Amino acid sequence: MSKVYQANLIKQVPFEFKGKDFIKLVEFEPYEIHFLLEQALEMKKLQKKGIPHPYLSGKILGMIFEKSSTRTRVSFEVGMMQLGGQAIFLSSKDIQLGRGETIDDTAKVLSRYVDGLMVRTFAHESIEQFALHSDVPVINGLTDLHHPTQVLADLLTIYEQKGKLAGLKMCYIGDGNNNMCHSFLEGAASVGMHLSIASPNGYEPNLEIFENAKRIGQSSGSQIQYTTSPQEAVEGADIIVTDVWSSMGQEEEQQERKEAFAPYQVNQTLCSRAKEDFIFLHCLPVHRGEEVTSEIIDGPHSVVFDEAENRLHAQKAILKNLMES
């Protein structure tokens, strides 16, 4: 029986999400992650059956975006509406933050108006600074270092597809030093999923995050590995995942990255080394023909649109637990 399934049994464990920030997955205990996944499944069922669930009636989420977004913006906004609340989109270009008002002052002021803040920014330290000066929960909608709400949705998608998490083998092919890879390290280690990362030299994961995931893996049973060989990483995998070669903010490195990552494309030849029933995940947006071929992302093993949908359900679980009165 998987740990997620057992989440029903651990609902009785006393823990408190309320008022907490959601900045990176490692700040949550494994049973808290399982609890959120379980609640996300409940949210999804309620929504599909058309049963109202206004847990956040009258609550307002402020959403600060310093980078572009389709999924994160819309899924948080729709999620708040489905929970009976509202969301306010704040582009950093339009608020005084973009003209030099400090993060500290912005966080203190917005905390007087809203019940929660979602922030998408560049440096991870910026969101930590927001959290330090905010009186309301702060949710990480992506930084250069982590993308925890996406990985929670990815774990939900894998659980739905495979019926378990612990003991599965995931391989991550591509930029090991980006937000997705770092959040996968924390998420996989927590739930006892094995993770093999393949990236070129110079694009290895952040060493501190990698070593910490390995340490957590020792108690969860998750084996965390790094290799420069995509063939080795994909061998026998249940889940293949990749991400763009150049993340937001790395536009100037695009050409150099295209050359470095060319041997890391997820294509039919590479995927033939995985288990026959492997699933393919990508957080989107995708560059077809670069990190993955259309044959794979638009093929029968791909679950990328379920994955995108699950942003909504996973985030509603986060919002409910952090912001409900």
Which residues touch 165 (CB under 8 Å, ≥6 apart)?
2, 3, 4, 155, 158, 159, 191, 192, 193
Q: Which of 39, 111, 177, 178 binds ligand NVA (CB under 6 A)?
A: 178
Q: Which of residues 140-159 bind ligand NVA (CB under 6 A)?
A: 142, 147
Radius of gyration of the chain (CA): 19
Return the number of the residue (7 or 281) whose C-beta is nearest ligand NVA.
281
| E-state strands within the chain | 60-65, 86-91, 116-120, 138-140, 169-173, 194-198, 224-227, 239-242, 279-282
Q: Which of 248, 260, 267, 309 binds ligand NVA (CB under 6 A)?
A: 248
78 is a contact residue toward ligand CP (CB under 6 A): no
Return the number of the residue (193 or 283) whose C-beta is nearest ligand CP.
283
Q: Which of residues 255-284 bind ligand NVA (CB under 6 A)?
A: 283
Return the number of the residue (71 or 169) whose C-beta is nearest ligand CP.
71
Please state the closest distance from residue 210 (CB atom) to ligand CP, in A: 22
Q: Catalytic annotation on 21?
A: no
8 A C-beta contact, residue 172 and residue 197: yes
**Looking at 34, 71, 133, 311, which residue is catalytic?**
311
| Bridge partner list, 224 | 195
CB atoms within 10 A of CB 60: 16
Return the number of the residue (2 or 69) whose C-beta is nearest ligand CP.
69
Please state the closest distance from residue 241 (CB atom) to ligand NVA, in A: 12
Binder of residue 321, out of ligand CP, ligand NVA, none (CB less than 5 to 8 A by kind): none
**Looking at 147, 182, 194, 257, which residue is catalytic?**
147
8 A C-beta contact, residue 249 and residue 162: no
Residue 134 phi/psi, 5° resolution?
A: -100, 140
Binding segment for ligand NVA (CB under 6 A), chosen from 77-85, 157-165, 189-197, 241-249, is 241-249
Q: Which of residues 135-164 bind ligand CP (CB under 6 A)?
A: 142, 150
Please state the closest distance from residue 291 (CB atom) to ligand NVA, in A: 10
Q: Which of residues 277-306 bind ligand CP (CB under 6 A)?
A: 283-284
CA 201 – CA 229 distance, rounded (Å): 10
CA 92 – CA 76 distance, rounded (Å): 17
Q: Catalytic annotation on 311?
A: yes
Tokens matching residue 57: 């009636």
Single-letter residue type at 51: I
Q: Which of residues 102-121 bind ligand CP (CB under 6 A)?
A: none
Tokens matching residue 158: 């894998």
First to last CA, the chain: 33
10 is a contact residue toward ligand NVA (CB under 6 A): no
Place of tokens 């999923």: 193
- Residue 89 DSSP SS3: strand
Binder of residue 180, out of ligand NVA, ligand CP, none (CB less than 5 to 8 A by kind): ligand NVA
Binder of residue 24, out of ligand CP, ligand NVA, none (CB less than 5 to 8 A by kind): none
Binding segment for ligand CP (CB under 6 A), chosen from 15-23, 69-77, 126-134, 256-264, is 69-77
8 A C-beta contact, residue 256 and residue 297: no
Which residues touch 104 (CB under 8 Å, ≥6 apart)?
129, 132, 133
Q: Which of 244, 279, 292, 318 binds ligand NVA (CB under 6 A)?
A: 244
Binding site for ligand CP (CB under 6 A): 69-72, 142, 150, 283-284
Residue positions annotated with a catalytic role: 120, 147, 150, 243, 283, 311
Binding site for ligand NVA (CB under 6 A): 142, 147, 178-180, 243-244, 247-248, 283
